[in-house]
Chain A
Amino acid sequence: MLSLGTLGSGAVMLALALAVYAVVAGTLGAVRRDARLQTSARLTALAVFIAATTAVLVMQAALLTDDFSVKYVAEHSRIESPTWVKVVTLWAALEGSVLLWAWLLTAYTAVLAVTAPNTVMRPWALVVMQVVQVFFLSVVALAANPFIVLANPPLDGPGANPLLQNHWMMAVHPVLMYLGFVGLTVPFAFAMAALITRRPGTEWMRLTRRWTLLGWGFLSAAIVSGGWWSYEVLGWGGYWAWDPVENVSILPWFTATAFLHSIQVQERRRMLKAWNLLLIVLTFSLTLLGTFLIRSGVVSSVHAFGDGPVGPFFLTFFVIVSLVSISLVVWRWDQVRDRADLDAVVSREGAFLGVNVLFLAMAFAVLLGTVFPLFVEATTGARVTVGAPFFDAITLPIWMLVLLLMGVGPLLPWRRAETQTLRANLIVMTVAFLIALALAFAFGMRNTYPLLTVGLAGWNLASVGLLLAGAIVPRARITGRSIGQVFTRYAFEQKRRVGSMVVHLGVIVIALGIAGSGGYRVDQQIRLPYGERVPFQGYELQALRPFSEQVAGRASVGVEVAVFQDGREVGVLTPRINRFGTSQMTVPTPSVRYTAGHDLYLALAGAVDPQQDFVIIRAVQSPLITWIWIGGAIIVLGTAYALSPGERPLRRRVGAESTAGAEA
C-alpha cells in the first residue's frame, strides 16, 4: 500500500520538478517572446500549487490520523492532543514550517499567474517567483523533508513544542508571518522583472501596490500577534525582549515600512528609483538572512528553534539573491539613476526620505545588535549577549523622530511647502503637543520617553485633525453639503489616504501602549498565604485554593486567586503550570485581567506544593498594555480599508498605465 510518507514525498518532488520546468519554460518564453511557452509556464504555476497543496493535505492527513510512520508526525505529534493542535502542528517545527512557507508561495504564484495584467514584466516576474519557489521546494525535498518514512514507527510521539501548544495564538502567528514574507516576495519579483525588462519606472510598483500593502499588513499583524503570544505564554509579563527571533521578524518590517513610503515618492516625483529597488531587495533578502540566523543555531534564542539542516541553504540563497539583484541594479544603473532632485527638504518627499533613513538606521542597528555576539565570539572567543538596553537606547530616540515626522509628513505638500500654511499647522500641533505633555505630567508621568510619546500622540492627533479638516471643510463649503456627508464621500473616494490615517492612528495607539507598559510596569513576587488578602498596586490578592486539572494531552497545576478592588471581588485569576504529554518541560501559564487602564498579570513563581500553606506568585501591573493589541487591530483595519476595492483606484489604474507607457 502507498504510505502517506511516500505520497507526500512524491507530491513535493512533483511540485519541485514542475517548478523547475516552469522556470526553464518561463525564461525561454520571456527571452524568445514565445507566447506559448509563457502560457505553459503560467499554467504550470497552477500545477505546482496543486502538487504543493496535495503535500500539505497529505501532511494534515498524517497528523490527523496519527500516522507515526511519517517522521515529522512521529517527532512532533501525539495521539491525545486535541484536533486543533494536530492541525497547527504543521507549523510547530522546522520541516513543517518550510513546507507551509513553500505552499503559501505556490499559492501566491498561482494567483499572480492568473490575475497579473499581461505586461512585458509578467513572464519575468513569474520566473522570479518560480525561482524562489524552486528554492523552497528543494529545501523541503532535500534538507527538511517532513515525509521521511520511518522503518519502525513509534506507537506515539512526544507532541508539539509545549510553548506552542500553550496558546491558540500560535495557530495564527506563524501563518501571518509567512503570508507577510511571501506577500513581499511579489514586489521583489516585479522589481527584478522591471530591471530585466529595462522598465524601472513606476509600473512595477503600481502593479504590486496591493501585494506590498497586503504583505506589510500581514507582517505587522504577525509581529503584534507574536508579542501577544509572548505576553500570554512566556510568563515574565512582557511582550518584546529583543530576542534574535523577534529581531529578525522586525527587520524586514522596518525596510518594508520604508519601502511603502518611498515608493510614493517615486510615483509622484519619479525619484528614488534605485533606492526603492534596493529597499525591496533588502526586504526580501532580510527574510532569508533572518531565517538563516534563527534556524541554523548560530544565534541562540529563548525561543530555541534549535539547529536545523536548512541553515546553509538559506545562507547560500541569501548570498545568491543579494549578489544577483544588486548586480542587476548596477547593470541597469544608467536607467535607475535619478534625474530629478529634491526641491526642498521641507516637503512631502523630504519627510518620506527622512523617515526612510530612520527606518533603515533602526534596521541596521537591530541587525548589528543581533549578529554582534557572533563577531565577538569569532574575534575574542568570549560569549556575549547584547542586552535589551542596547536596542532600547538606539530605537527609542529614533522612534520619537519617526512619530515627529509622522505628524508633519502627511501635511506637507509635494515639492515645496508654503511657509504660511505650514507655520499655522505647526503652531496648532505644537500646542497639542504641549497640552498632551502637560496632561501627562499632571498625571504624574516623569520618565522622558513616555512623556515625549504622549506629547507626540497629541501632535499626531492634531495632525490627523488638520488633515481631515483641510480635506473636508473646503469641500463642504463649495458643495454646500454637511460635514458628515462630505466625510463619508471623502472616506469612500480616498481609501488609501484614509487607510493610511487609520494605520498612523494605530501606530500612535501602540506607541502609547508601549510608553505605559514599558515605562510604568510594576513587577514583583508576592507570597500569598491561603485565605489572606495581600495588597498589590491598589488590589488585594487572595489565594483561594490550589487546583489540578487533566484534559486531553495536558496536565495543569495551579492556584485560584481572587482579586479584590475597593473591597469588592472583581474576578478570579488562575495562574498555572502546564505539562504536555510526556514532555519534561513545564510551561508556567499566566492569567491576565485585561482592563483599559492597565493589566493585572499573575504567574506562578515556583512550584505549587500542597504541603505549603502559601503560594508565591509573580504579579505584574502593566499600564495601557492592552492598547498595543488594540493598536495592532487598528493597523490591520486601516490596511484592509486601504486595500478594499473602490471606484477611484480603478479609474486611477487606467490613468497610471497610460502615464507609465508614456514614460517608457
Chain B
Amino acid sequence: MKGAAVSRWGVARKRLVYGLFGAGVLVLAGFMINQALNTSLVYFILPNEYAQQPSQYEDRRIRLGGLVAPESVRFDDLDLQLTFLVTDGIESYPVQHVGAPPELFRENAGVVIEGRFDEGVFVSDNLLIKHSEVYEAPADGHIDIEALRESLQ
C-alpha cells in the first residue's frame, strides 16, 4: 500500500505547513493587536492626577474630566475659540477648544474633554457635557473627588 503511505506522509506534511502558517499568523496578529492597543489606549484622568505625573501623559491622547471653573469661560465667536479652566477642586488647567460651547455648557458643568496637553494647556478636539443626577456642583467650593470621578465616567 505504497499510495496510502505517500498520502499519509502528504497529510502529515500538509498539517505541518498549515500549523506553521497558522502559528505565524497568530504571532503576527498578536503583535499587531499589541501595537494597536498601545497606541490607542486613552486614559481618563482628573486634573490633579495629571499634576502628579505630567510626564506620563506627554504626547498621549487623554480624556480629562472636571468641572468648568466659574468665571473662566471665554468664547470668541469669530474664531470659534472656546477657552475655560477645567478643575477638580485641587488643580485646574486652561483648556482650548475649537468650536461653539455645546447647548448645556455652563459654569460648574461636568465635562469630559479629549485631546492632549501642550505646554500646560489642554488642547481639546472633543467636548462632552456630563449632566449627571449623581453629582451636583458644590455651593461651598468643596469638591468630593471620588463622587466627581464617578459622575464623569
Asked if B29 and A606 sit within 8 Å, CB to CB, the answer is no
Q: Answer whether residue A586 sits at the interface, using C-beta atoms and an 8 A cutoff.
A: yes
Asked, given contacts A383-B153, A585-B131, whether A376 binds B41 with beta carbons under 8 Å apart, the answer is yes
Partner of A300, one of B25, B131, B153: B153
A586 touches B104 (CB 8 A): yes
Q: Knowing A393-B32, A527-B77, A614-B77 touch, does A387 contact B40 (C-beta < 8 A)?
A: yes
Q: How far is the CA of A577 from the CA of B153 in the complex (A)?
A: 25
Say yes or no: is A385 at the interface (Cβ < 8 Å to chain B).
yes
Q: A341-B11, A342-B14, A606-B101 are in contact. Are A384 and B42 (CB under 8 A)?
A: yes
Q: Is A365 an interface residue (CB 8 A)?
A: yes
A476–B9 Cα gap in the complex (Å)? 45
Q: Return the chain A residue nearest B80 by Cβ.
A: A525
Tell me whether A369 and B37 are in contact in the complex, defined as CB-CB below 8 angstroms, given that A341-B14, A387-B61, A393-B32 are known contacts: yes
**In the assembly, what is the distance between CA of A384 and CA of B38, in Å?**
11
Which residues of chain A in 614-664 are interfacial with respect to chain B, using CB atoms and an 8 Å cutoff? 614, 616, 618
Question: Which partner residue on chain A sits nearest B128 by CB separation?
Answer: A302
Tell me, in angstroms, the Cα distance from A382 to B53 when the chains sit together: 13
Q: Is the CB of A394 within 8 A of B32?
A: yes
Interchain CA distance A639-B13 in the complex, whole Å: 40
- Is the CB of B5 closer than 8 A to any CB of chain A? no
Which DSSP category, helix, strand, loop or mixed, fits chain A's interface? mixed
A525/B98 in contact, CB under 8 A: yes
B11 proximity list for chain A (CB < 8 A)? 341
The CA of A369 and the CA of B40, in the complex, are separated in Å by: 10
What sequence of 0s and 1s flags, for each residue 353-388 of chain A, a beta carbon within 8 Å of any chain B beta carbon? 000010001000100110010001000001111111
| Nearest chain B residue, comparing its CB with the CB of A235 | B102
In this complex, how many residues of chain B approach chain A with their Cβ under 8 Å: the count is 32
Q: Nearest Cβ distance between residue A437 and chain B, in whole angstroms? A: 25
Q: Given that A382-B43, A383-B44, A606-B101 are known contacts, is A393 also in contact with B29, CB under 8 Å in the complex? A: no
Chain B hits for A300, CB < 8 A? 153
CA distance A368 to B131 in the complex (A): 30
**Cβ of A605 and Cβ of B40 under 8 Å apart?**
no
Task: Give 1 or 0 for each of B42-73: 1 = CB within 8 Å of chain A CB.
Answer: 11110000000000000001010000000000
Residues on the B chain within 8 Å of A387, using CB: 40-42, 61
CB distance from B83 to the nearest CB of A (A): 15
B37: chain A residues within 8 A (beta carbon): 368-369, 372, 386, 390
Contact mask for chain A residues 158-176; partner B; CB cutoff 8 A; 1 contact, 0 none: 0000000000000000000
Q: A385-B63, A387-B61 are in contact. List 13 more A-B contacts (CB 8 A).
A: A365-B33, A368-B33, A369-B37, A376-B41, A382-B43, A385-B41, A387-B42, A388-B40, A393-B40, A584-B131, A607-B101, A607-B103, A616-B100
Give me the 7 closest cross-chain CB pairs, A-B, nearest first: A606-B100, A390-B40, A616-B100, A605-B100, A383-B44, A389-B40, A393-B36
